[in-house]
Amino acid sequence: MTPRIVVLGVGNLLLSDEGVGVRCVERLERDHALPAGVRAIDGGTSTHELLEDLEDLDALVIVDAIAGAHASGTLVRLEGDHVPSTFSNTLSPHQHGINDLLAKLALLGRAPKKVVLFGVAPESLALGLTLSPRVEAALADVCARVVDEVRALTG
Amino acid sequence: MAKRITIDPITRIEGHLRIDCEVDGGKVDKAWASGTMWRGVEQILLGRDPRDAWAITQRFCGVCTTVHAIASVRAVENALGIAVPKNAQFIRNLMIAAHAVHDEIVHFYHLSALDWVDVTSALKADPVKTAELAESLSSWHGNGRHEMTATKERLVKLVDSGQLGIFANGYWGHPAMKLSPEVNLLAVTHYLQALDVQRKANKIVSILGSKTPHIQNVAVGGVANAIALDSQSVLSVERLLAIKTAIDELEQFVHQVYNVDVAAVAAFYPEWTKQGRGVVNYLAAPEFPIDERGTELETVGGYIANGDLASYQPIKTFGDPLLRDNVAESVKHSWYRGGKGALHPYAGETVPEYTDFQENAKYSFVKSPTFAGKPAQVGPLARVLMAVAAKHEPVVGHLTRILGTVEALSKSKVPLDALHSTIGRHAARAVMCAVQVDVLKRQWQRLMDNLAKGDVATFEPPVFPKGEVTGFGFHEAPRGLLSHWVVIRDGVIANYQAVVPTTWNAAPRNEADDPGPYEASLVGTPLADPERPLEVLRTIHSFDPCLACAVHLADPTKAPIAEVLVQ
């Protein structure tokens, strides 16, 4: 059976690099053919509304900006229980929402079998509709890594 | 010694609210409500085509968006004096009611129930006893021991994993938490079931509005839904029947679960009928027009002064002069250029003048609206009180039913005066949710009956005259009376003001320095543990503010000594 996998890009497009997850989904849809069973979703700053799309997945791959001491443009990959721990130390408000969402899925008994987070360290969170040059430059690599991940997951 | 509590925003998604309380002798002594973000949409609208205003005003918010689309087209239609086809009214009404049901369910379970429900206590509950209790209260199919056991097991697993997620920031073990472990487990189970139910209401909005948040189907002059009963691409019988199925499922949940749970919280927290009274001038709009010009509406609205139902003055139709002539906004304590006294919205100005937080001068981006010169509380409680004053049976019936459940559970009489309170606002919201479900059923039937007559019109193109026209549109939104006011000159917007529900309720002090409803409602609130001011949040959340906030507790020197996130 084809596995059910979602690539979820989250972020606020108004706050430059904060929107990197959404920019990644846009790029995936434009430039990449994802394997059968894999859906890319622009999660924006939604929370509740995403619940139905994320239920009973074989794998959930989240792409988002991530806080930490990394140089801007650095890509970080986290898996399993490390994902909600990262989100509980929030960089931005919608991350609180993603953490909530994962907890709700667990309480409903419909959590994804596997959760992977690709986090991109931002350079700027200022008001602005475009990514900073460093994060923009990292985007192609982020997309390639996401595609590799879902290919490995779909076998 | 007086302590100062500041509740300050963290979210960048929705509106921003800050609450400051001065606490003395274990009680709130004074309070200030401050909106900390400038909206600015009114300025964006100047010089634009009035037909675009609804799409732009929806962007006031990312949650409560439909309401601004509706109020905006009504304002422009009022300015032009035009009628809209009946089908358009029914389709708008269905979206309005479905949006409200969604908002009310989500508000109670997902945004405020955890003020009353202690999740960690649920870990100690006996699932079998919980199911027995639940089945004694209601015939809901999700009340069995299997459901209660499954919830408890998943909750234990979540807590053991150390990933509390949604429940990480609650006031667990707070002395003001009073429910038994079994009632807490029941509430958590319904919290999860409500996650499934709320989306049924949202689906109605998205079937009709093409998407939500931010519906795409309204237009000045009607709606953009083409109706063809046998086509896949437009509003078809299949879609209309999907809406009916969702309405029936919502009715079951609202009656058998939401209404019962609110009654139970009210019965177990009787002391909260004595807190949070605040401003008892009430203002509400009638809603759900069933004719082309909004002269006949399904629910009642009006004004009640000083909590006295005998003072009720009805607002009867779209364009009603009682509302048109009595609204004004003061910026004496708001970060706008002022000096002209309180202004009617047609003459309203929105020029920012930020000064930093000055509690005796300007301290908020929210203006201070008044009705006949007085602050007024808006929201479900105002709607319910108008209905009681007008003896409007479709509302009074549900009120009597829900208060009956409270009385049966608490084994005591609940006087009407108990509604002027924190818990009264929750009860009123539960009443109105049941009313909105009835409205959904009736509006759906009206739409079907009208279509059966062969009338499929949904739009009448507007014509804009030369010269100046003014108009206002009101809408009774989930959080209360919303009004948009527009001045159109030679077909473009010359002035635009939105007076939103949270402007009424979160208003700073007005021209006469009277506190607004949030501010007044907090005075006298006792705090069991000033380090964790749960009681302040209970009252503020009872108004359904469209916000997430952080509580920063500061000592008198204003150095933060604790920070607790809440939603």
Each residue of B445-493: pLDDT tens digit? 999 999 999 999 999 999 999 999 999 999 999 999 999 999 999 999 9
pLDDT above 50: residue B550: no
Distance CA B469, CA B279 (A): 34
Kindly determine whether residue A48 and residue B192, on different chains, have CB atoms separated by under 8 Å.
Answer: no
Element (H, E) at B298: strand B297-299
pLDDT for the residue B556: 27
Kindly determine whether residue A88 and residue B168, on different chains, have CB atoms separated by under 8 Å.
Answer: yes
Q: How many residues does chain B have?
A: 567
Distance CA B505, CA B553 (A): 23
User: Looking at CA atoms only, how far is residue B82 from chain A in angstroms?
Assistant: 36
Kindly determine whether residue A99 and residue B161, on different chains, have CB atoms separated by under 8 Å.
Answer: no
pLDDT for the residue A85: 60
pLDDT above 60: residue B536: yes
Which of B206, B85, B499, B122 shows the shortest CA–CA distance to B331?
B499
Q: For chain B, positions 205-244, list CB contacts with chain A under 8 A.
A: 213
Kindly determine whether residue B110 and residue A48, on different chains, have CB atoms separated by under 8 Å.
Answer: yes
User: Looking at CA atoms only, how far is residue B151 from chain A in angstroms?
Assistant: 7
| Burial track B189-226 (b if 16+ CB lie within 10 A, e otherwise) | bbbbbbbebbbbbbbbbbbbbeebbbbebbbbbbbbbe
Mean pLDDT, residues A80-98: 59
Q: Over the Cα atoms of chain A, what is R_g?
A: 14
The answer to whether residue A98 neighbours chain B at the CB level (below 8 Å) is no
* Helices and strands in chain B: count of H runs, count of E runs: 17, 17
> Predicted confidence band at B1 (pLDDT cuts at 50, 70, 90)?
low
User: Looking at CA atoms only, how far is residue A103 from chain B in angstroms?
Assistant: 5
pLDDT for the residue B529: 83
Tokens found for residue B422? 């924190």
The structure tokens 């002798």 sit at B25
Give pLDDT tens digits for B174-190.
899 999 999 999 999 99
Kindly list the residues from chain A whose CB atom is less than 8 angstroms away from the CB atom of residue B161: 81
Mutate to test the interface with B, among A14, A101, A107, A110 (most CBs of B within 10 A): A107
Residue A49: closest C-alpha in chain B: B199
Q: Are B473 and B480 in contact (CB under 8 A)?
A: no
C-alpha pair distances (Å), B284 with each of B72, B228, B323, B474 = 17, 36, 10, 10
Q: How wide is the angle at C-alpha B176 spanned by C-alphas B171 and B178, nearest 5°?
A: 100
Kindly list the residues from chain A whose CB atom is less than 8 angstroms away from the CB atom of residue B158: 103, 106-107
Q: How far apart are the first and last CA of chain A?
A: 11
Kindly determine whether residue A103 and residue B165, on different chains, have CB atoms separated by under 8 Å.
Answer: yes
Kindly list the residues from chain A whose CB atom is less than 8 angstroms away from the CB atom of residue B110: 48
Distance CA A9, CA A27 (A): 11
Contacts of B238 (CB under 8 A, 6+ apart): B232
Q: How far apart are the first and last CA of chain B?
A: 29
Q: For chain B, positions 62-91, list CB contacts with chain A under 8 A.
A: 62
Residue A86: closest C-alpha in chain B: B163
3-state secondary structure chain A: CCCCEEEEEECCCCEHHHHHHHHHHHHHHHHCCCCCCEEEEEEECCCHHHCHHHCCCCEEEEEEECCCCCCCCCEEEEECCHHHHHHHCCCCHHHHHHHHHHHHHHHCCCCCCCEEEEEECCCCCCCECCCCHHHHHHHHHHHHHHHHHHHHHHC
Distance CA B319, CA B297 (A): 13
Give pLDDT tens digits for B117-165.
998 899 999 999 999 999 999 999 999 999 999 999 999 998 887 766 5
C-alpha pair distances (Å), B337 with each of A86, B206, B362, B367 = 44, 40, 10, 11
Find the CB nearest B192 among A12, A99, A107: A107
A-B Cβ pairs (cutoff 8 Å, strict): 67
Kindly determine whether residue B164 and residue A103, on different chains, have CB atoms separated by under 8 Å.
Answer: yes
pLDDT above 70: residue B558: no
Residue A108: closest C-alpha in chain B: B192
C-alpha pair distances (Å), B448 with each of B236, B243, B270, B439, B535 = 11, 12, 44, 14, 47
Q: Are B523 and B31 in contact (CB under 8 A)?
A: yes
Kindly list the residues from chain B whose CB atom is less than 8 angstroms away from the CB atom of residue A92: 12
Which of B410, B432, B497 shows the shortest CA–CA distance to B258?
B432
The answer to whether residue A104 neighbours chain B at the CB level (below 8 Å) is yes
Distance CA A122, CA B437 (A): 46
In this prediction the ipTM stands at: 0.83
Kindly determine whether residue A106 and residue B157, on different chains, have CB atoms separated by under 8 Å.
Answer: yes
Give pLDDT tens digits for B190-221.
999 999 999 999 999 999 999 888 999 999 99
Kindly list the residues from chain B whose CB atom is less than 8 angstroms away from the CB atom of residue A45: 13, 62
pLDDT for the residue A92: 44
Tokens found for residue B195? 């996650």
pLDDT for the residue B537: 85
More confident residue, B184 or B534: B184
pLDDT for the residue B8: 58
Mean pLDDT, residues A135-140: 96
Kindly determine whether residue A48 and residue B165, on different chains, have CB atoms separated by under 8 Å.
Answer: no
List the beta strands (DSSP E) in B147-253: 218-219, 222-223
User: Looking at CA atoms only, how far is residue A99 from chain B in angstroms?
Assistant: 5
How many Cβ atoms sit within 10 Å of the Cβ of residue B507?
31
Kindly determine whether residue A93 and residue B12, on different chains, have CB atoms separated by under 8 Å.
Answer: yes
The answer to whether residue A84 neighbours chain B at the CB level (below 8 Å) is yes
Entry pTM? 0.91
For the four alpha carbons of B233, B238, B244 and B246, in that order, the dihedral sign comes to negative
User: Looking at CA atoms only, how far is residue A124 from chain B in angstroms?
Assistant: 15
More confident residue, B13 or B147: B147
The answer to whether residue B157 neighbours chain A at the CB level (below 8 Å) is yes
Instruction: Give the pairing of strands A38-44 and A5-10.
Output: parallel
3-state secondary structure B8-38: EECCCCCCCEEEEEEEECCEEEEEEEEECCC
Kindly list the residues from chain B whose CB atom is less than 8 angstroms away from the CB atom of residue A107: 151, 154-155, 158, 192
Instruction: Give the pairing of strands A115-120 and A75-79.
Output: antiparallel
Mean pLDDT, residues B522-534: 87
Kindly list the residues from chain A whose CB atom is less than 8 angstroms away from the CB atom of residue B198: 48
Give pLDDT tens digits for B255-312.
999 999 999 999 999 999 999 999 999 999 999 999 999 999 999 999 999 999 999 9
3-state secondary structure of B185: helix
The answer to whether residue B59 neighbours chain A at the CB level (below 8 Å) is no
pLDDT for the residue B564: 31
pLDDT above 70: residue B395: yes
Kindly determine whether residue B13 and residue A93, on different chains, have CB atoms separated by under 8 Å.
Answer: yes
User: Looking at CA atoms only, how far is residue B512 from chain A in angstroms?
Assistant: 37
The answer to whether residue B154 neighbours chain A at the CB level (below 8 Å) is yes
Residue A100: closest C-alpha in chain B: B166
The answer to whether residue A67 neighbours chain B at the CB level (below 8 Å) is no
Kindly determine whether residue A109 and residue B164, on different chains, have CB atoms separated by under 8 Å.
Answer: no
pLDDT above 50: residue B353: yes
